[in-house]
Amino acid sequence: MRSAYEEEVLSPALQVMTKANPSLLSSGKFYLAILPTGLVVGCGGWSPEQPGKETVEQRLGHVRHFAVHPDWTRRGIGRSVFTVCVRAACAAGLMTFECNSSLNAEKFYRALGFVRIREIDIELKPSLMLRGVLMRRNIYEDLVS
């Protein structure tokens, strides 16, 4: 993330972003990509709730906490996890995914078919904001194709 953010912003942001989210981890909507050796090389999930809020919009889901081990990028790990998320979300009746993307992850989400809506400030905790991008993608088309 150093390519997109200054160290004085990134350091406190990573302290918040790398903490486990127990409700997401136990939701059944968070997935791991694990090698036969047991090494976790990727993760990601989705939720019907807007990140940091309890707000739920009918047929709208939110992509959450995607990451790929640095040694395993550009090998389809993130896309594979995303495909699992799309199938599960469609089965739950969702039609659209939104994503609060970091600036450096925008290219990844665009490759998955997301469209940039606008730049946003993502509140990681009170008085700690991270510049990001709100992105959106229709997932219903994946269900019917």
Question: Residue 79 CA to chain centroid, in angstroms?
Answer: 11
Task: At 34, list the tokens.
Answer: 């694990």
Give the span between the Cα atoms of 94 and 48, in whole angstroms.
8
Measuring CA to CA, which residue among 14, 13, 121, 117 is closest to residue 60?
A: 117
Q: What is the pLDDT of residue 114?
A: 97
Q: What is the pLDDT along the chain (145 residues), one digit of tens a residue?
A: 777 777 877 877 877 787 888 889 999 999 999 999 999 999 999 999 998 888 899 999 999 999 999 999 999 999 999 999 999 999 999 999 999 999 999 999 999 999 999 999 888 888 888 889 999 999 987 655 5
Distance of alpha carbon 78 from alpha carbon 45, whole angstroms: 11
3-state secondary structure (DSSP) of residue 72: helix
pLDDT confidence of residue 143 = 58
Q: Write down the pLDDT at residue 53.
A: 85
| pLDDT at site 63 | 97
Predicted confidence at residue 73, as pLDDT, reads 93
Residue-wise pLDDT for 99-127, tens only, equals: 999 999 999 999 999 999 999 988 888 88
Q: What is the pTM for the complete model shown?
A: 0.88
Task: Provide the pLDDT for residue 142.
Answer: 61
DSSP state of 140: H
3-state secondary structure 26-60: CCCCEEEEECCCCCEEEEEEEECECCCCCCECCCE
Complete domains list, the chain, with CATH? 7-144 (3.40.630.30)
Which pLDDT does position 145 carry in this prediction? Answer: 52
Name the residue among 71, 64, 35 with its Cα closest to residue 48: 64
